[in-house]
Structures are given as C-alpha cells and as structure tokens.
Amino acid sequence: MTPYAAWAELEAAARRDADARIVDQFAADPDRLSWMTLDAAGLHLDLSKQSWTRTGFEAALSLARACDLESRRAALFAGEAVNSTEDRAALHPALRAPAGADFHALGAPVSAQVDAVRAEMKLYAEAVRSGIETGASGRAFKTVVHIGIGGSDLGPRLIWDALRPLDPEIDLRFVSNIDSRDMAEALTGLDPETTLIVAVSKTFTTHETLVNAEAAKAWLAAALPAAGLDRHFIGVTAAPERAAAFGCGRVFGFNDWVGGRYSLWSAVSLSCAIGLGWQTFQGFLDGAAELDRHFLEAPMERNAPVLMALAQIYNVDGLHRPTRTVAPYAHALRRLPAFLQQLEMESNGKGVRRDGSPVGRQTCPVVFGEPGTNGQHAFFQQIHQGPQVVPAEFVIVASTDGTSSESPLWANALAQGQALMQGKTEVQARAELIASGASDIEADRLAPHRTFSGNRPSTAILMPRLTPRTLGALIALYEHKTFVEGVIWDINSFDQWGVELGKVLARAVLKDVAAGEPGPGLDPSTAALLTRLLR
C-alpha cells in the first residue's frame, strides 16, 4: 500500500470512529484492554481510552508500515544522515548504550569516543563529590550553577527536579534566561569559593548563554584570584576551542550528531552527574537503553513509541484535534510538559516534507500541561467542557516518596481519565440535581451547566516509582514517539530552522540599540517599539 492510500484509509476510518463512543468499545471488543495495554522498560501504557476502534487502529498500523517505519528506524540506529538538511546522523541512542557498543555516525565509529567521554565525566563527577577536585582556595564545591538554554537547560533541569534528594550534598541551580534577574537569583547566597559554573552550549556562540557565562565569570573574578579562576569554570560543547578561549578550565565535548533537545544523555548533563552521583546518572542511561531495545525489537502492534505516535496522529490528522495536554501526577515531573514542548514542537513543528514540498496536513500539535492536581484547578475545565476535544496524557507514579501510598494523587488521575471518557448526560445531571433536593425548575436550569459530553481520549503511563531507570525510559519513549511521528509525516525531526530567524534578527536589533535609533531595515511597528524602549 502506498502512503497516499494508507492516509486515505486512516482518514476514512477516523470519520467512522468520530461517531463511536470510546466507552462502548469495551463491550463491542472484549479484548480491547489486552491489545491496547503493554509494558516496556518498567512503564505500563494504557491506550484503551483512545478514540480508535480496532479498525481505526489497524488503519493507523497500515499507515506506519506504508511509510516504511521499520527501515527508517534502522537508519536512525545505523547512524545514517536522517537529519537530511544538515547531512548529520541523530545518534542519541549511542549516548546511553552500554560500554563497548558499536555505533557509527555516517560510517565512522563513535562508541569508543562516547565511552571515553562518559568515563571522563564519571571521574570528574566523583572527584567533585568527594572533594578531591576543589576550587581556587582549596575548598570543596558545594553548589553547581548550570548555564544553558533550550536543550542545554530543559533536559538537565528535568533530570534534577525528578531525581534530586531533598537535601543534596551538592546543590544544583540553573540559569537560562538572559534576564539578569535569573542569574541574580541563582547566585544569591552562594560563596564563590565553593561554586562551580558549568556553561553548556553546542557551538559556544549562543548569545543568551554567553551573556550569562560572562556575568558568572565576572562574579567569580570579583572574589577569586585570577590564577585559580578557571578551576571554577567548566565548558560543555561541540566546539572545545571556543570554550577554552572563553576561559573554561576543563572542557567536556559532544558531537554535532547530538541534537540539542536530545543531548541530555551526554556531557550536557554533567551537572546532574555531579549533583546526583554517577550511579544515579548511570541508572538513568540504562533505563533509556532498555527502552531503545524495546523500540528496536518489539513488533509494531506491541511497540510503545509506535502506539503513542499513532494515537497522536489519529487524533491530529484523523480527527483534527490540534492540541494535546500532558499531566504528570508527580511533583518531581513538573518540568516534563516544558521538556516535551521543546522535544516535540521543535522537532515536528514543520510545514514542509523532507523533499521541501508542503506537508499539506497538520503536523505536531500544540503541547501544554501542568502537574496534576494543579492542572485540574486551571485548564481542565476547558478539556472537560470546552467545545474543542483535547487529548490528554496522564503520567502516574504509584508512590512518589517510596514510603507511603499516594492514592489521593493517582486516584485523581484515574478519575480524570474516566470522566473525560464517560462524561455525564443532561438526563444524568438533572437526576442528580433532583436527588439533591433541587426543584424541577432549578434542575432544568442547572442541568446543561453540569453536563459533560465525554468521549474525550486519554492515555495513561504508569510506573511503580520514579527511579533513574524509569525516568530514562520515559524520556526515551517520548523521543522515539517523536521520531515515529516525523517518519509518518515525512518531515525532518532533527533540524530547527524556525529557531534561527528570530536569533538573526535579534542581532540586527541589537546593532540598532547600540546606534541609539532604529535602522532603515525595520518595519514601522518594530521601529516604533524600539524607539519607545530607547527613551
């Protein structure tokens, strides 16, 4: 079957499924729960509350096969130039593979280099934690300030929030915003003698990161002798010569085949390895590697990233639902929605195919979310009773502290998925009002306001506990889901040209700021705003 024919089949199936109620499918197909739930790398997935019937699901699988997903998956792991616009591999699985693996990028072996950098990271992290590695005055480091933006910030920040001890031996603070307030908050209360700065930038030219790194260097220089200043400054980059020229005492490298939003498995997360300890960081890598094996080996109909991707494509393109919410029911995963915004929207927010022709359909949905139960008191009103259908994902941790039951937390997650699917009819709402003592007139008036249409899809991802391994598996699951979607939409998930235009224009605006007036190339609106800001 051609991709064109498979798309037509999926769209036809979705039109039929649009009128089918999810809750009725469990009676119509008694096996639904078994073929729509699976376990992978310590995660349990339940997609049985998705909108497809079995026919719709089979149409989605046919589409994946028609798009040659299996060979594209093989190309990813083989290190071929899947990033076609930059002629690069996208080989993040190599970064979490066990020592001694044999990955190649564009034919060149890379695993030995990955192992060497990982060993260097381990030695340095352990030296900092043990006090062997010290600052200029010989005192042990107590705080790491991690400077980065985008993929150099969101991934490590998610790892730290998810796995940090309540009272860490070495604290970790993050700076990403060019607003000086961000740096001021991070440095407040710190002792320069016991503070280590880790500046992360793939090219070491990122404007926001360099401005913040200069501010941090000036803060250190005001309190420390010049001779030992570089012991407090570490660079993580694919351009080591630039980091050394900047004044970094040590530089940890990674390759250009590591995309920023896929780089948290590399030296980009050195700060986390220091703050958490190497054993914890290694467990994080191991969990992702286990999910990699699942993605490579499981048949498509039992493959977690494939099913997650197909559910989204069915919603977005089949049923025209251009948004999705992610609600992690664990405070430690509060940064997950922000991380997924970059992972998915920067990867797949594209309007042209790999050959440069228009896509002609919706690609990545708008992703948003908040931790449960906070989101229930904010935007859940919209997803329950608003006119738009917003598919939801609930990430549920059975025990978030490892000692006590978290049933009030995850009971809310289960109830939200149930409510989205079942809804409540006006007849039911009216009967409840009458039972509570309302008059017939009052019940008639209020029942429409207490009616829920239901039939709104959701996916649940469960884990017994949030551990380094389950966190690694969860992130790898979403990475591979994003890749599968890109294959089916026939787009390049590994470039991000949409990020660049604004950065280029910002440099031009800064020249106008230095000149004290708008330049001739500015449009009237931007020129007027700049003039007002220059007053």
As a whole number, the mean pLDDT across the chain is 95
Q: Is the pLDDT of residue 318 over 60?
A: yes
DSSP string of 391-424, one letter each residue:
-EEEEEEEESSSSS--HHHHHHHHHHHHHHHH-B
Measured between alpha carbons, how far is 275 from 173 in angstroms, rounded to an integer? Answer: 10
Q: If you average pLDDT over residues 372-391, what whole number do you get?
A: 96
DSSP-assigned beta bridge partners for residue 394: 327, 460
Whole-prediction pTM: 0.96
Cβ atoms of 478 and 158 within 8 Å: the answer is no
Q: Is the pLDDT of residue 161 over 80?
A: yes
Q: Is the pLDDT of residue 521 over 90?
A: no
Write the CATH number of the domain with boundaries 110-276. 3.40.50.10490
Cβ neighbours of 371 (radius 10 Å):
21
Task: Tokens for 291, please give them.
Answer: 């999910």
Among residues 185, 377, 500, 517, the one annotated as catalytic is 377
CA-based nearest residue to 521, from 504, 499, 496, 497:
504
Residue 295 carries which side chain, given as an amino acid letter?
F
**What pLDDT is attached to residue 535?**
86
**What pLDDT is attached to residue 85?**
95
Q: If you average pLDDT over residues 35-63, what whole number do you get?
A: 97
**What pLDDT is attached to residue 244?**
93
pLDDT band at 404 (very low <50, low <70, confident <90, very high): low
pLDDT tens figures, 236-291 = 999 999 999 999 999 999 998 998 899 999 999 999 999 999 999 999 999 999 99
Measured between alpha carbons, how far is 352 from 361 in angstroms, rounded to an integer? Answer: 10
> What is the CATH T-level fold of the domain 3-79+284-422+456-495, as seen in this structure?
Rossmann fold (3.40.50)
**What pLDDT is attached to residue 473?**
98
Burial class (CB in 10 A: 0-12, 13-18, 19+), 323: middle
Cβ neighbours of 394 (radius 10 Å):
24
| Dihedral sign (CA 413, 415, 418, 421) | negative
Tell me if residue 424 is catalytic.
no
Among residues 241, 500, 503, 517, the one annotated as catalytic is 503
Q: Is the pLDDT of residue 446 over 70?
A: yes
Q: Is the pLDDT of residue 101 over 70?
A: yes
Percent of the chain with pLDDT over 90: 92
3-state helix, strand, coil in the chain (%, to 5): 55, 15, 30
Looking at 87-91, 133-137, 316-320, 503-507, which range is the least confident one? 503-507
**What pLDDT is attached to residue 500?**
85
Q: If you average pLDDT over residues 440-462, what whole number do you get?
A: 97
Angle value at C-alpha 86, between 309 and 472, nearest 5 degrees: 40
The string over 92-120, giving b where at least 16 C-beta atoms fall within 10 Å of a residue's C-beta and e elsewhere, is bbbbbbeeeeebbbeeeebbebbbebbee
**What pLDDT is attached to residue 403?**
53
Cβ atoms of 359 and 491 within 8 Å: the answer is yes
Percent of the chain with pLDDT over 70: 99
Q: Is the pLDDT of residue 51 over 70?
A: yes
Tell me if residue 503 is catalytic.
yes
Among residues 9, 346, 370, 393, the one annotated as catalytic is 346
Strands (E), 138-214: 143-147, 171-175, 195-200
Q: Is the pLDDT of residue 20 over 90?
A: yes
Q: If you average pLDDT over residues 68-86, what whole number do you get?
A: 97
pLDDT tens figures, 323-364 = 999 999 999 999 999 999 999 999 999 999 999 999 999 999
CA-based nearest residue to 311, from 70, 50, 68, 59:
50
Cβ neighbours of 408 (radius 10 Å):
8
Give the torsion through C-alpha atoms of 469, 474, 476, 480, to 10 deg.
150
Tell me if residue 331 is catalytic.
no
